[in-house]
Amino acid sequence: MKVTTLLSIAVIAVFCSACNHMPAKNTESAKAEIPEPLKDDYSDISIKRVSSRGGDLVDDIYADFVKKRPALLSLETGLQQFYAGMPDSLEAFNNYAAKSARYYDAARRSLLTIKDSVLRERLRLLIENSNSKYTGKIKKFSALMKDIDSNRMVINDYHLALKIAVTMPVIENYQDKNMPDSKSAESLANTSKKLKQQAVKLSKE
């Protein structure tokens, strides 16, 4: 089964789980159940640190949710360890590849200084043949790097999808339970209507 299919199933499963774990809508303590990031006085620095982009309410709600779901916490821990360890894991190969790339770049540039066209062409073929052999030597590493990059793209896409799946029921639950009373807005609308009528009337006198 493809990685994308497995991740799709995982996202759907988490979405359903999130919906099933939302508190019932008819409860007297609805106001007290507002998630921290949705509270008007929200200033939880610890949650904001988990949020990857800062000021992003999807990330803030998700970070708050992660603390309450072991499966999500395990995923986030795994992702942090994966990205944190990536530079060290690839450092040796990246240094190795960079030196080879620098060598062949320098060798190709040096050909520009050779006046003898026959000699220049022989050296060009020699350089390209060596580069071709080098490409074969790193074939395994190249395939691994391609897999890593491909998996990272899928991880990023489905990680974002997971955040939406987890946080949408939260914001919808908040919307249902915390609709403000419209009386103050209605009063302001009536006042604005009266002031408009007064302004229009006075302007015509």
Residue with tokens 């303590």: 29
Specify the residue for token string 């999500």: 72
Q: Which of 146, 194, 128, 174 is nearest to 35 (CA)?
A: 174
Q: What is the pLDDT of residues 104-122, one digit of tens each?
A: 999 999 999 999 999 999 9
Question: Residue 202: pLDDT band by 50, 70, 90 thresholds?
Answer: confident
Q: Which one is predicted more confidently, 4 or 124?
A: 124
38: which residues sit within 8 A by CB, 6+ positions away?
57, 61, 170, 171, 174, 178
Are the CB atoms for 65 and 173 separated by under 8 Å? no
Residue 33 is classified by DSSP as: G
